[in-house]
Amino acid sequence: MNNKPYLIEFPKIGESQLGYISVSEKNNLPFIPKRIYWTYFTPEDVVRGNHAHYELEQILVAVAGKIEVDIVLQNEDSFHFVLDSPNFGLFIPKMAWRTMKYSHNSVQMCIASMEYDENDYIRNYDQFKR
Ligand code: TYD
């Protein structure tokens, strides 16, 4: 299961008159988080990502707006996800080439399994395919 991307549904506690809270206890995640970062104000004509990771696993959440994520695995399986609900996360396994496009109002939270390490990045697609 954990070598393919998949959606995780988080609890959505509340009601429309009051608003909602989503929560994830660590036992409900596929890894224990080591880092959280968020990206925002990405212009709509920019494609982010364009890399894979040797070891890092991630969960992307569109806490606001809409994010379109394309993923290609080394065996050429490809996936397209639209994240537009704050109570859903996208698990991205290691060795997955990803690109992301953002709506102007979107905020992407990334829950990461490892600390930042530039040596864990594969930024060249041909190198990734090898
Ligand atoms: P990158 O992971 O390439 O962003 P994206 O996948 O959203 O396109 O990171 C962009 C830049 O930010 C890059 O120069 C590395 C830096 N960065 C850090 O310093 N620490 C971090 O935790 C992250 C995720 C990125």
Distances (CA, A) of 7 to 80, 100, 115, 116, 118: 11, 15, 23, 23, 26
Residue count (the chain): 130
Domain with residue 101: its CATH number is 2.60.120.10
Res 74: pLDDT: 95
Q: Mean pLDDT throughout 98-106?
A: 97
Residue 1 within a domain: no
Q: Mean pLDDT throughout 104-123?
A: 98
Tell the residue nearest (CA) to atom 14 of ligand 1. Answer: 118
**Tens digits of per-residue pLDDT, 75-101?**
999 999 999 999 999 999 999 999 999
- pLDDT range class, residue 2, cuts 50, 70, 90: confident
Residue 34 within a domain: yes
Tell the residue nearest (CA) to atom 21 of ligand 1. Answer: 116
Residues 53, 120: Cα–Cα separation, whole Å: 5
Q: Are 10 and 30 a contacting pair, CB within 8 Å?
A: no
Average confidence score pLDDT of the chain? 96
- pLDDT above 60: residue 1: no
- pLDDT range class, residue 27, cuts 50, 70, 90: confident
pTM summary value = 0.96
Q: Say which amino acid occupies 39.
A: T
Tell the residue nearest (CA) to atom 22 of ligand 1. Answer: 116
**Tens digits of per-residue pLDDT, 61-70?**
999 999 999 9
Tally the domains of the chain. Answer: 1
Res 121: pLDDT: 98
Residue 56 within a domain: yes
Res 125: pLDDT: 96
- For the CA of 48, the nearest atom of ligand 1: 8
Residue 37 within a domain: yes
* SS3 at position 81: strand
Is position 104 annotated as part of the catalytic site? no
Which residues form the domain of 73?
A: 6-129
Ligand 1 pocket test target in 47, 48, 70, 119 with most atoms within 8 Å of CB:
48
Ligand 1 pocket test target in 116, 119, 123 with most atoms within 8 Å of CB:
116
- pLDDT above 80: residue 119: yes
